[in-house]
Amino acid sequence: MSLIRKSAAELGALLATGEVSAVEVTQAHLDRVAEIDGKVHAFLHVATESALAQARAIDERRAKGERLGPLAGVPIAHKDVFTTSDMPTTAGSKILQDWRPPYDATVTRRLREAGLVILGKTNLDEFAMGSSTENSAYGVTRNPWDLTRVPGGSSGGSSAAVAAYAAPLSTGTDTGGSIRQPAAVTGIVGMKPTYGGSSRYGVIAFASSLDTPGPFARNVLDAALLHEAFSGHDPMDSTSIDAPVPGVVEAARRADIAGLRVGVVREFDSEGFQPGVVARFHETVELLESLGAKVVELSCPSFTTALPAYYLIAPSECSSNLARFDAMRYGLRVGDDGERSAEEVMAMTRAAGFGPEVKRRIMLGTYALSSGYYDAYYGQAQKVRTLIARDFEAAFHQVDVLISPTTPTTAFPIGERVDDPMAMYLADLCTIPANLTGNAAISIPCGLADEDGLPVGLQIMAPVLGDDRCYRVGAALEAALESRWGGPLLSKAPAL
């Protein structure tokens, strides 16, 4: 099997025994990027020289007999919302064009410390706002299953890179679903850790009470290995949880679900869901039962109010976070002719530098936070958040995990929803509750929809700091599904 088809764990093992070098593995993936990225456009920046230099350094350390981690020498694609001191960081926005951050995000630093080789930076919706990657200022990314469809978003470059075998691993951030939704529609695994379980330091902020870095991979064990490599307490992030990282790798290896209590969220299985998504979901529920899980239907009524609450809270936080792009400190500056006032330059820069979705959110958020409206909108949304937390809490008294489809539909055609924000927002119907409460949740592939032959994702939600449960259940299901399919779902994707 060619190197690009191997999992991160397999590559790690081959590298450890010296059967292949990190330079060979890196070169194979850089060649793949060169081969496919003209069609897919997963990358905004390919770091050929620095990737090969990193790989060489790993090979040298290994030659000296140094003991390295399980992912040392394995390539990774990095979402362009994490700061990187040696590569541009744009957050998909014109306003950060050519910006070179002076420091590494904690996640970036930990990737380097684990010996992962960063191939480059991946495309995203501007400031991670979107569900299709069409909101990037640098062009759309295409779904490797069907180049006329979106790869999901906002981390669509990262999902497409992994699904197209350009990297075995990638990073994402999930504020409302931006890891799980793109994973679902490209047929790969994506995990949103417990909020505060992975560091936000150096992640360009969208909505600070929601933003959560997490891994993408082609299988559950690989996602767990990456999760473990970059997670854990960080004193540089004031909301980072000072607790040990849940035993995610062990859980992915254990992969057993006998006796597990599974709750099916009744609210996420009805109107507006594509028939092929519902069919695969129901089959997966039956499979869980046949594997020895005890499945019960549960009602979480507040989950239906998560979407509107999110679209008040996330824009409110974004309107405040994005105030820092004032033309003085970073990137773009427009109209600075020595005559205009600083305010005029700021206004001109923000008008030219932000795209329509970002402007829409800044306006929504500013309105929701304005005096006189604050209690009616933002305050109300925060109350909804509490109700959702209570629903989760009540559910987890009865069951160990909750499941739902990850998304109501499969990958939609490029252009279909870009002028219809409400339709776009619906893509995150099922993923948002776990963001509003900080719960852990994973998406794994669970089959292809009959209508269009495109991947369907299953979401597994767990309590706060119960990340290991997502991996335990995800890995057990993955094994059962793959034996049914005769291999990974992604092997059914048409050749690029």
Binding mask 380-419 for ligand GLN (x = CB under 6 A): ----------------------------------------
Residues 301-340 that bind ligand GLN (CB under 6 A): 314
Q: Which is nearer to ligand GLN, 314 or 477 (CB)?
A: 314
CA distance 56 to 59: 5
The set of residues, in sequence order, having a beta carbon less than 8 Å from that of 47 and lying 6+ positions away, is: 86, 87, 118, 119, 120, 121
Q: Which is nearer to ligand GLN, 75 or 176 (CB)?
A: 176
Which residues are annotated as catalytic? 79, 154, 178
CA distance 177 to 48: 30
Q: Please tell me whether residue 177 binds ligand GLN under the rule CB under 6 A.
A: yes
Interface region with ligand GLN, contact rule CB under 6 A, candidates 9-17, 136-144, 172-180, 301-309: 172-180
Q: Which is nearer to ligand GLN, 7 or 155 (CB)?
A: 155
The pair of structure tokens assigned to 91 is 């957050």
Q: Which is nearer to ligand GLN, 133 or 349 (CB)?
A: 133
Q: Please tell me whether residue 171 binds ligand GLN under the rule CB under 6 A.
A: no
Q: Which is nearer to ligand GLN, 190 or 246 (CB)?
A: 190
Q: Please tell me whether residue 174 binds ligand GLN under the rule CB under 6 A.
A: yes
CA distance 361 to 154: 15
Q: Please tell me whether residue 285 binds ligand GLN under the rule CB under 6 A.
A: no
CA distance 389 to 195: 13
Query: Prior bond to 154 cis, omega within 30?
Result: yes
Interface region with ligand GLN, contact rule CB under 6 A, candidates 43-51, 176-184, 448-456, 475-483: 176-184
CA distance 351 to 345: 10
* Residue 440 φ then ψ, to 5°: -80, 145
Q: Taking the chain, what is the end-to-end CA distance rounded to the nearest angstrom? A: 17
Q: Which is nearer to ligand GLN, 55 or 414 (CB)?
A: 414
Interface region with ligand GLN, contact rule CB under 6 A, candidates 35-43, 158-166, 175-183, 464-472: 175-183
Which of 70, 144, 176, 438 lies at the binding interface for ligand GLN (CB under 6 A)? 176
- Least distance from ligand GLN to the Cβ atom of residue 130, Å: 5
- DSSP for 80-137 reads TTB--TTS---TT-GGGTT---SS--HHHHHHHHTT-EEEEEE--SGGG--SSSTT-T
Of 4, 7, 6, the residue nearest 35 (C-alpha): 4
Beta carbons of 435 and 174 less than 8 angstroms apart = yes
Residues 112-141 that bind ligand GLN (CB under 6 A): 128-131
- Least distance from ligand GLN to the Cβ atom of residue 216, Å: 13
- Least distance from ligand GLN to the Cβ atom of residue 219, Å: 23
- Report DSSP state, residue 411: P
Q: Please tell me whether residue 178 binds ligand GLN under the rule CB under 6 A.
A: yes
Q: Which is nearer to ligand GLN, 44 or 314 (CB)?
A: 314
Residues 187-206 that bind ligand GLN (CB under 6 A): 206
CA distance 249 to 321: 34
Binding residue count for ligand GLN, defined by CB under 6 A = 13
Interface region with ligand GLN, contact rule CB under 6 A, candidates 101-109, 169-177, 233-241, 458-466: 169-177
CA distance 431 to 56: 40
CA distance 489 to 496: 16
Residues 23-42 that bind ligand GLN (CB under 6 A): none
CA distance 262 to 306: 21
- Least distance from ligand GLN to the Cβ atom of residue 185, Å: 12
Which of 428, 467, 468, 478 lies at the binding interface for ligand GLN (CB under 6 A)? 428
Q: Which residues bind ligand GLN (CB under 6 A)?
A: 128-131, 154, 174-178, 206, 314, 428
